[in-house]
A and B are shown apart, each in its own frame.
Chain A
């Protein structure tokens, strides 16, 4: 036996930033994020991966059960359901994403300003939030659809109109909490401007919970957008999304339950994955709190 000693380099690798960041994440966050990123990737790569043209009709092949050619079967016009499901997510996910970002940004600004200004401004803004928060968002959407007509822009305006309120309420609480810490007093003592303090000190220290709420609300927005499409008030034909697919499939569901199950499952999984991210972030925050309390 040749005496070759392989000297293993026993340098313990310093875990990279990414890995350390991943180690801090809750299992729910990781699962949800993996699932959601996969869905986003599928939606963005649609033209490359969808097996058929989602609009291509083939009346000879209509209403077929899942098979090797059509994994999720075909619909009443013989269109490939899998391709349609992959295509159909883009509208709902895009509208819900834009809405939630707008809601979060408006809520952050109003909540932070309300808390930092205090007095009559705070009082008025928060009473406004108290009242708007009770408005059912679908009813607000109906108002905007009745005045502006259906379409993605209407939906975004309608869902943002009251959707910012929970963010504002939460942001106000967080701002008050952060404002009581020493570094804000220090910044005030240095005569930093109000906007500088909000931008540099308050917002960075409150983003965690805001993100958690954004993910938790995203699922709800997605379902609402799909619901309005289901009612024919969201995406307009010939375009379609998961909601319209479900509405179309209802007439055939006694023969082809799969047509109803597939697009609904797509909404469910997408909504569940973002909810899981949000819940995971919430758990992480609670865990951090507990740790900082005990030490």
Chain B
């Protein structure tokens, strides 16, 4: 078990190093003078005087080898200093705090909706396996996966904001502005959760220990609650964490459509404006979160599932 955690931890650190190197290199591989880009991210005022630039270059170590510059950059990043955003002229790390909150709210809201609908839907499909309801659910989930969010989102805005006028079309004001983005973000996870819930429920329903529980006097639903759900939950849990990481930084399109100031939108804005420090910071933060959550999930999974623990 300790060996397993140690291995995952080493991989985690390695990934973060690789990602940070890639992010560090962004100003050097794009067009534009890296020195100017970096100066712009470090100085509150624009520097144009060549003599000043030369002096600052020496002072900030920008004439040193790349490896030394990287270590300096990494040291500042570890302290939370990603530099100043080109567009807002504020420290990037402050922008992240707010954006992360927004993304987390949207992601958890969407996953909660998906989870609460998928468990009963998947269970019902598993119980009615092979019958019309099962086929209908299967087709429904396939259709959900095929819906582009940038199509359903405008349609929902059209219906609920423009025609009915019951919900705001975009922006970030109160809980009502969360409803539409949460619905749109929940569709795909809903489809995948339902498919996985159905499959693991079928496994569980045929499991010998369920029959033994019935023989002890538990009814169908009581045995499902006592023994089925926990066993069926393990695969869904893994999927849940994968989607959490994916939605935290990856809901760029939805956040852009609804003008929800989350991580995805921040990154999108940064790419549009070539806001290098913001791009660097967003990528490091999003990937670090994804990898950390993923590693933690794997560890929790092994701890929850006693049989796996034995093998590793």
The answer to whether B146 touches A142, judged by C-beta atoms less than 8 angstroms apart, is no
Known: A131-B294, A272-B143. A136 touches B286 (CB 8 A): yes
Known: A139-B249, A139-B250, A146-B30. A227 touches B279 (CB 8 A): no
Cβ of A220 under 8 Å from chain B: yes
The answer to whether A243 touches B155, judged by C-beta atoms less than 8 angstroms apart, is no
Q: Which residues of A contact B276 (CB under 8 A)?
A: 146
The answer to whether B267 touches A142, judged by C-beta atoms less than 8 angstroms apart, is yes
The answer to whether A130 touches B26, judged by C-beta atoms less than 8 angstroms apart, is no
Q: Which residues of A contact B290 (CB under 8 A)?
A: 134-136
Q: Mark A110-148, 1 if CB is under 8 A from B, else 0.
A: 000000000000000001101101111111001101110
| Nearest-Cβ distance from residue B255 to partner chain A, whole angstroms | 11
Cβ of B272 under 8 Å from chain A: yes
Cβ of A276 under 8 Å from chain B: yes
The answer to whether A268 touches B286, judged by C-beta atoms less than 8 angstroms apart, is no
The answer to whether A143 touches B291, judged by C-beta atoms less than 8 angstroms apart, is no
Question: For residue B272, which residue of chain A has the nearest CB?
Answer: A232
The answer to whether B154 touches A246, judged by C-beta atoms less than 8 angstroms apart, is yes
CA distance A78 to B20 in the complex (A): 48
Cβ of B72 under 8 Å from chain A: no
CA distance A243 to B276 in the complex (A): 26
Question: For residue A124, which residue of chain B has the nearest CB?
Answer: B11
Cβ of A23 under 8 Å from chain B: no
CA distance A271 to B145 in the complex (A): 8
Cβ of B116 under 8 Å from chain A: no
Q: Which residues of B contact A223 (CB under 8 A)?
A: 146, 148-149
Q: Which residues of A contact B242 (CB under 8 A)?
A: 133-134
CA distance A264 to B152 in the complex (A): 8
Known: A230-B253, A231-B268, A275-B146. A246 touches B294 (CB 8 A): no
Q: Mark A196-227, 1 if CB is under 8 A from B, else 0.
A: 00000000000000000000000110010011
The answer to whether B142 touches A276, judged by C-beta atoms less than 8 angstroms apart, is yes
Q: Which residues of A contact B274 (CB under 8 A)?
A: 146
**Main SS of chain A's interface residues?**
helix
Q: Which of B249-299 contact A (CB under 8 A)?
A: 249-250, 252-253, 256, 264, 267-268, 270-272, 274, 276, 279, 282-283, 286-287, 290-291, 293-294, 298
Question: For residue B245, which residue of chain A has the nearest CB?
Answer: A134
Cβ of A64 under 8 Å from chain B: no
Q: Which residues of B contact A146 (CB under 8 A)?
A: 26, 30, 270-271, 274, 276, 279
Cβ of B305 under 8 Å from chain A: no
Question: For residue A264, which residue of chain B has the nearest CB?
Answer: B151
Known: A130-B298, A268-B151. A136 touches B245 (CB 8 A): yes
CA distance A276 to B149 in the complex (A): 19
CA distance A137 to B245 in the complex (A): 11
| Nearest-Cβ distance from residue B43 to partner chain A, whole angstroms | 22
Q: Which residues of B contact A276 (CB under 8 A)?
A: 142
Q: Which residues of B contact A264 (CB under 8 A)?
A: 148, 150-152, 154-155
CA distance A67 to B204 in the complex (A): 55
Q: Which of A271-290 contact B (CB under 8 A)?
A: 271-272, 275-276, 279
Q: Which residues of A contact B248 (CB under 8 A)?
A: 136
The answer to whether B146 touches A272, judged by C-beta atoms less than 8 angstroms apart, is yes
Question: For residue B157, which residue of chain A has the nearest CB?
Answer: A253
The answer to whether A130 touches B294, judged by C-beta atoms less than 8 angstroms apart, is yes
Cβ of B158 under 8 Å from chain A: yes
Cβ of B15 under 8 Å from chain A: yes
The answer to whether A272 touches B30, judged by C-beta atoms less than 8 angstroms apart, is no
The answer to whether A142 touches B279, judged by C-beta atoms less than 8 angstroms apart, is yes
The answer to whether B15 touches A131, judged by C-beta atoms less than 8 angstroms apart, is yes
Cβ of B308 under 8 Å from chain A: no
Cβ of B226 under 8 Å from chain A: no
Cβ of A257 under 8 Å from chain B: yes
Q: Which of B12, B15, B148, B267 contacts A271 (CB 8 A)?
A: B148
Given contact pairs A134-B242, A146-B279, A226-B150, a sample of 9 additional A-B residue pairs in the complex whose CB atoms are under 8 Å apart: A133-B242, A136-B250, A146-B274, A223-B146, A231-B252, A253-B154, A264-B151, A264-B154, A275-B142
7 pairs from A and B in contact (CB 8 Å cutoff): A134-B291, A135-B291, A139-B252, A142-B271, A226-B150, A253-B154, A267-B151
The 8 closest A-B pairs by CB, nearest first: A264-B151, A136-B250, A271-B146, A134-B294, A272-B146, A230-B150, A227-B253, A127-B11
Residues of B within 8 A of A (CB): 7-8, 11-12, 15, 22-23, 25-26, 29-30, 138, 142-143, 145-152, 154-155, 157-158, 162, 242, 245-246, 248-250, 252-253, 256, 264, 267-268, 270-272, 274, 276, 279, 282-283, 286-287, 290-291, 293-294, 298
